[in-house]
Chains A and B, each alone.
Chain A
Amino acid sequence: MASRNKKDIDLIDLNRTPDRKRKKKKINNNREFSVVMYIFMALFLSLSAYFIYFVGFKSETFINSPYNPRLANMAEHTVRGSIISADGKVLAETKTGKDGTESRVYPYGAEYAHAVGFATNGMSGVELDANFQMLRSHEFFLTRLSEQLTDKKTNGDNCNITIDSRLQDTAYQGMGSYKGAVIAIEPSTGKILCMVSRPDFDPNTVAAEWDSLTTAETSVLLNRATQGLYPPGSTGKIFTTLEYLEEGNDPAKTYDCQGTYTQDGFTIHCYNSEVHGPQDLPAAFANSCNTTFAQMGLTLDPARFTALSTRMLFNRPLPTRLQNVSKSSFSLSEADSDASIMQTSIGQGKTLVTPIHLCMVSAAIANGGVVCEPYIIDSIESVDHTRIKRYKGEEYGSIMTGDEADQMKSLMRGVVENGTGSKLKTDAYTAYGKTGTAEFTDDKSRTHSWFTGVAEKDGKQIAIAVIMEDSGTSSKHAVPLAKKCFDTYFSE
């Protein structure tokens, strides 16, 4: 050990010839110096390693912030790249006029208003998420060199997104004149296959119409798929069911549905006060029987139910790379009245959920309980089609066990086979789902129509959430729209 130390502190003599004699006494007291040297070397090397890590891996997400004033500056040397759909359609591109003025063109106008977004007035959608990437250029270096020599702008990289334009078109047209949202995700990866929000606007004219857009009462700028908070209605029974099963209840246990159920002076009605008679869990789930779920809800432990809601991603940021996604909320406590417990159990009460959230839960059910983080940016390519970066699906983790996912799947299959989602019965693919009719005002005749579910065929899967505001029953609106989307997705 001693000899080792001596070697470490071997003196370096900078101006003298190496063969010169050295005095021994100087070498004696240097052990501590080596320790000091090692301490500082460790500090500086970890600092350098951190710096390399930041510049190499961490900085990209950090600097793509609206607070970073530099990004706008980069546009001075770069023509912003295009946004391209999964099937090769150009959704946004920058065109340079003869006088050198640039304009951002969106060939599909309002159809992609929220998904692709806009690049002025603070930016939104993919335009915001991939802002930095599209302002960077990985063009062939000789091309770039000649551009620099002639003081021409270089071409920014293109951004390929996961959206399938056929599916987007079906969903967009299918919404008709209703407000609401459609979002579809590939369960095994988290790829967003379509994302529609209505009412919409024309991204080509955002700058000119900014004032009217921001003051519009219908909040057209809001992406309802990711930011719209809705009562889940009967789709919320997915969570009640999970909690009911996790508390060890027997799915075969039956409740008697008389069309209404009153507890503590508060009455729960089934849809149109229909009398379902004796209902076990699969039947109640397929028929969306409110009175059964209200009775089941009263037996549940509020603390455990709250814990389950957290695991189901309520009350916290959703795991996704998209920016500006709202938090869903769920609240239930021991102190709540029976009335509010019953309402929460049937998806009314104080629960609010975003369409993307419900879609993620359906996707997880189809994917053995594992949530894959939804993402829309698939890859970045240079103008000459060299791939710069490929974004892969990232698993967030399990929100339910594989057994529970299978159980939920068979319950959701029941909805299609002999329940409220029977319109989805087809030979073309196998569909699973849950309908919902959500009250949103005191006027009980006005309801949002919901559907969330999955379809699969030969290992190909798609999860979807559809909400059509103020449209009435789900079987007449949300379910047929989901069917159209499934049909498109599985048609070759």
Chain B
Amino acid sequence: MVHFFTSISRFTMIFLLAIFTYDSFAALRPKTTERARRSRYVRQTVFMYLILINGNLVIYLNTKELRVLFMLAFECVLFAIVLLVFRAAYDGSNKPLVNSMAMLMAIGFIIITRLNIDKAEKQLFFAAVGMIVTALVPLIIKHGAFLSKLTWFYAVFGVGLLGIVLVGGSTVYGAKLNISIGGFTIQPSEFVKILFVFFVSCMFAEATDTRQVLITTAVAALHVLILIASKDLGSAGIFMITYLIMLYVATKNPRWLAVGALLCVLGLILAYFLFSHVRTRFLAWKDPISVVDGAGYQVSQSLFAIGTGGWFGTGLCQGMPDKIPLALSDFVFASIAEEMGGVFALLVIFLCIGVFLLFLNSAMQISDFFYKLLALGLGTCYGAQTFIMIGGVTKFIPSTGVTLPLVSYGGSSLLSTMIIFAIIQGLYVREYQGEEDEYGEQE
């Protein structure tokens, strides 16, 4: 009977997520009436809860662990508060964005609970902290005229943090990512990317002449080089892509994009010949089975998981995602694909595309250049990270080890992504309210 429920739940969860994802894209269609839109948002919220309950029930029935039910209750309460806070703190907030954020977090909770309930508890705690932080963000944005004047503070603080990791960080899987403060392990690059986007936005909002571009590029290169030296290739990639996109949009000059992309390719080729760990990653990407005992182990296990799961997955608690290294963080996508199915995983990709489009859409509507760039940069960060993560796990591109925002286990990743969502939400609301004021003046 348990097996039957587990088996059926694969399909119900895929169905729920499919409708949810459809609604998220439908919200982007211009010709929808307000009422239709509203009913979509309500349906999204309901389906998010249904998936959360469905997933956790399957886990409970398979493990008979009462804690799962307690967690489920807490998660339901947390999401209720998140939805309310956003509705209250961000008047006129972008609702599909909030819903998508909640859905991605819910999927994360399910797979983390299934793999390691202690870590799920921690993740819940981080989410609660994140919620408090995000409630404060709109206040800062509202009185945020000073934000565009802290240009060099962002750069110095960001480079400083990355430098500390390079010098004093602990080495995990060959890369230096973390520093420990008072029992907490923090991954600073997750936060520095926000600072970095602030810095670049400040610089380009000020001017976009060649001198300014060169200075900004030099600082950006410094960030990237420190990350490469820490062997954190995934983050280096995210910074690089984000910078190039921001540079292009700010200068409106496609030549920069072309030159930048070319330099990146040259840099990659150079890195391939200079560093053995880059070569290893490349080999593990080309033919992971040939080096399955070494560099290809992670990717091979990930592909075994995705492949064995097939289109509809093994069902929660029926597969072996615990055999994938970093099944909770860098390879969480493979865990999801294995147990919840390839179709579900594909829907997660679509959901992430939807979030990225909502980000860009928000950015487009902002009139102030600084804020516009800020929203664009943060959105690009999100898009690049999602692409690098899922691409690496599925062997579409070489694996570099970054987290899937909101889904992967990890306080730094969760918190920083929630902040990104909150900032964009705040900017969106600010624009809306600013507009109201202007309309008011006209009357």
Which A positions have Cβ atoms within 8 angstroms of B? 9-15, 17-18, 23, 25-26, 29-33, 35-37, 39-41, 43-44, 46-48, 50-52, 54-56, 58-60, 62-63, 65, 67-71, 73-74, 77, 132, 145, 148-149, 151
Q: A11-B364, A36-B245 known; 9 other A-B pairs, CB under 8 Å?
A: A25-B367, A40-B353, A44-B352, A44-B353, A46-B396, A51-B346, A54-B307, A63-B308, A148-B3
Report the Cα distance A32→B304, complex, angstroms: 40
A residues near B28, Cβ cutoff 8 Å: 12
Query: Do residues B96 and A14 form an inter-chain contact, with CB atoms below 8 A?
Result: yes
Of B3, B37, B303, B372, the residue contacting A62 (CB under 8 A) is: B303
Residues of A within 8 A of B318 (CB): 77
Contact indicator A55/B342 (Cβ below 8 Å): yes
In the bound complex, CA of A32 to CA of B245 (Å):
9
Distance in Å: Cβ of A205 to nearest Cβ of chain B: 30
A70 near B353 (CB under 8 angstroms)? no
Q: Which of A18, A36, A37, A58 contacts B248 (CB 8 A)?
A: A36
Q: Who on chain A is nearest to B383 by CB?
A: A40
B305 at interface, CB cutoff 8 A: yes
Stretch in contact with the other chain, from B75-83, B267-275, B355-363: B355-363
A56 vs B349: C-alpha distance when bound (angstroms): 17
Is the pair A55, B364 in contact by a Cβ cutoff of 8 Å?
Answer: no
Interface locus among B143-151, B182-190, B208-216, B386-394: B386-394
**Residues on A with beta carbons closer than 8 Å to the beta carbon of B320:** 69-70, 73
Q: Answer yes or no: B319 CB below 8 A from chain A CBs.
A: yes
Q: Which residues of B contact A30 (CB under 8 A)?
A: 364
Report the separation of the CA atoms of residues A488 and B360 in the bound assembly, to the nearest whole angstrom. Answer: 72
Contact check, A33 vs B387: say whether CB atoms are below 8 A apart: no
Supply 24 A–B pairs (Cβ within 8 Å), ascending by A.
Answer: A14-B95, A23-B435, A23-B438, A26-B367, A33-B360, A33-B364, A33-B376, A35-B248, A37-B357, A46-B396, A47-B394, A47-B396, A51-B342, A55-B310, A55-B337, A59-B310, A63-B304, A67-B292, A69-B304, A70-B323, A145-B4, A148-B3, A151-B1, A151-B3
Residues of A contacting B311 in the complex (Cβ-Cβ under 8 angstroms):
55-56
B300 interface hit (Cβ, 8 Å):
yes
Q: Mark B306-342, 1 if CB is under 8 A from A, else 0.
A: 1110110000001110010000000000000100001
Which of these, B252, B292, B346, B372, contacts A48 with CB under 8 Å? B346
Please, which residues of chain B bring their CB within 8 A of the CB of A73?
319-320
What distance in Å separates the Cβ of B437 from its nearest Cβ neighbour in chain A? Answer: 13
Of A10, A12, A36, A50, the residue contacting B380 (CB under 8 A) is A36
Q: Specify which chain A residues have a CB less than 8 angstroms from the CB of B252 in the assembled complex.
A: 31-32
User: Which listed residue, A12, A15, A37, A148, touches B30 by the CB 8 Å rule?
Assistant: A12
* A40 to B380 alpha-carbon distance, docked (Å): 9
B163: interface (CB < 8 Å):
no
Report B-chain residues with C-beta under 8 Å of the C-beta of A52.
342, 346
Q: Contact partner of A41 among B254, B337, B353, B361, CB < 8 A? A: B353
Contacting A at CB under 8 A, from B30-79, are 30-31, 34, 37
- Which listed residue (B289, B292, B376, B435) contacts A36, Cβ 8 A? B376
Residues in chain A near residue B367, CB distance under 8 A: 23, 25-26
Q: Is the CB of B304 within 8 A of A70?
A: yes
Report A-chain residues with C-beta under 8 Å of the C-beta of B30.
10-13, 18
Report which residue of A13, A36, A60, A71 has the largest number of chain B beta carbons within 10 angstroms of its beta carbon.
A36
Asked whether A59 and B306 contact (CB < 8 A) given A12-B30, A18-B30, A51-B345, the answer is yes
Q: Are A14 and B307 in contact (CB under 8 A)?
A: no
Residue numbers of B with Cβ under 8 A of A are 1, 3-4, 7, 27-31, 34, 37, 92, 94-96, 245, 248-249, 252, 254, 289, 292, 300, 303-308, 310-311, 318-320, 323, 337, 342, 345-346, 349-350, 352-353, 356-357, 360-361, 363-367, 369, 372, 376, 380, 383, 387, 390-391, 394-396, 432, 435, 438
CB distance from B221 to the nearest CB of A (A): 21
Tell me, in angstroms, the Cα distance from A67 to B352 when the chains sit together: 32
Contacting residues, chain A, for B350 (C-beta < 8 A): 48
- B4, B303, B432: which contacts A63 (Cβ < 8 A)? B303
A residues less than 8 Å from B3 (CB atoms)? 77, 148, 151
Minimal beta-carbon separation of A149 from chain B (angstroms): 5
| Majority secondary structure, B binding face | helix
Inter-chain contact B289/A62, CB cutoff 8 Å: yes
Q: What residues of A have a CB within 8 angstroms of the CB of B396 in the complex?
A: 46-47, 50-51
When C-beta atoms are compared, the residue in chain A nearest to B438 turns out to be: A23
Which chain A residues border B363 with CB–CB below 8 Å? 33
B394 x A32 contact (CB < 8 A): no
Q: How far is the CA of A63 from the CA of B323 in the complex (A)?
A: 14
Partner of B356, one of A26, A40, A56, A132: A40
A59 contacts B349, C-beta separation under 8 Å: no
- Chain B residues with CB under 8 Å of A14's CB are 27, 37, 94-96, 361
Main secondary structure of the interface of A (DSSP, over half): helix
For the complex, give the distance between the alpha carbons of A71 and B310 in Å.
13
Q: Are A62 and B364 in contact (CB under 8 A)?
A: no
B387 touches A43 (CB 8 A): yes
> Complex: how many Å from CA A35 to CA B256?
14
Sort A-B residue pairs by CB-CB distance and give the 9 closest, nearest first: A59-B307, A63-B307, A55-B342, A68-B304, A32-B249, A148-B4, A70-B308, A50-B396, A44-B353
CB-based contact A47/B308 at 8 Å: no
Bound Cα distance A68, B320 (Å): 10
Counting chain A CB atoms within 10 Å of each CB, the highest count among B92, B361, B390 belongs to B361
Bound form: Cα–Cα A35–B303 in Å = 32
How many angstroms between the C-alpha atoms of A148 and B432 in the bound complex? 54
**For B365, what are the chain A residues with a Cβ–Cβ distance below 8 Å?**
11, 13, 26
Q: How far is the CA of A44 from the CA of B435 in the complex (A)?
A: 34
A48-B349 Cα distance, complex, nearest whole Å:
7
Q: In whole angstroms, what is the CA distance A25 to B366 when docked?
A: 10
- Min CB distance B370 to A, Å, is 13
Q: How far is the CB of B244 from chain A (nearest CB, A)?
A: 10
Q: Which residues of B contact A13 (CB under 8 A)?
A: 30, 365
Residues of A within 8 A of B292 (CB): 65, 67
Greatest chain B CB density within 10 A among A31, A40, A43, A148 is at A40
Q: Which residue of chain A has the shortest Cβ distance to B349 in the bound complex? A: A48
**A67-B94 contact in complex given A12-B29, A47-B394, C-beta closer than 8 Å:** no
* Closest chain B residue, CB of each to CB of A70: B308
- Chain B residues lying within 8 Å of A25, measured Cβ to Cβ, are 367
Cα–Cα, bound, A54→B360 (Å): 30
A145 and B391 alpha carbons, distance in the complex (Å):
36
Determine whether the beta carbon of B305 is less than 8 Å from that of A70. Answer: yes
Please report the C-alpha to C-alpha distance between residue A56 and residue B343 in the assembled complex, in whole angstroms. Answer: 11
Closest to B289 in A: A65
Given A14-B94, A52-B346, A60 and B307 contact (CB-CB distance below 8 Å): yes
Contact B356 A47 (CB under 8 A): no
B343: nearest chain-A partner, CB-CB: A55
List residues of chain B with CB within 8 A of the CB of A26: 364-367
Pick the contact of B249 from A36, A55, A58, A132 — CB < 8 Å? Answer: A36
Which residue in B95, B304, B357, B390 is a CB contact (below 8 Å) of A47?
B390
Counting chain A CB atoms within 10 Å of each CB, the highest count among B27, B394, B396 belongs to B396
Residue of A nearest to B38 (CB): A15
A30 to chain B: closest residue by CB: B364
> B319 contacts which chain A residues (CB < 8 A)?
70, 73
Given A59-B310, A71-B308, decide whether A50 and B394 contact each other with a Cβ distance below 8 A. yes
User: Residue of B at shortest CB range from A61?
Assistant: B307
Q: Which of chain A's residues has its CB closest to B395's CB?
A: A54
Q: A70, A74, A145 — which one has the most chain B CB atoms within 10 A of its CB? A: A70
CA distance A55 to B391 in the complex (A): 14
A448, chain B: closest CB distance, angstroms: 34
> How far is the CB of B32 from the nearest CB of chain A, in Å?
8
Bound Cα distance A51, B353 (Å): 15
In the complex, chain B residues whose CB is within 8 Å of the CB of A54: 303, 306-307, 394-395
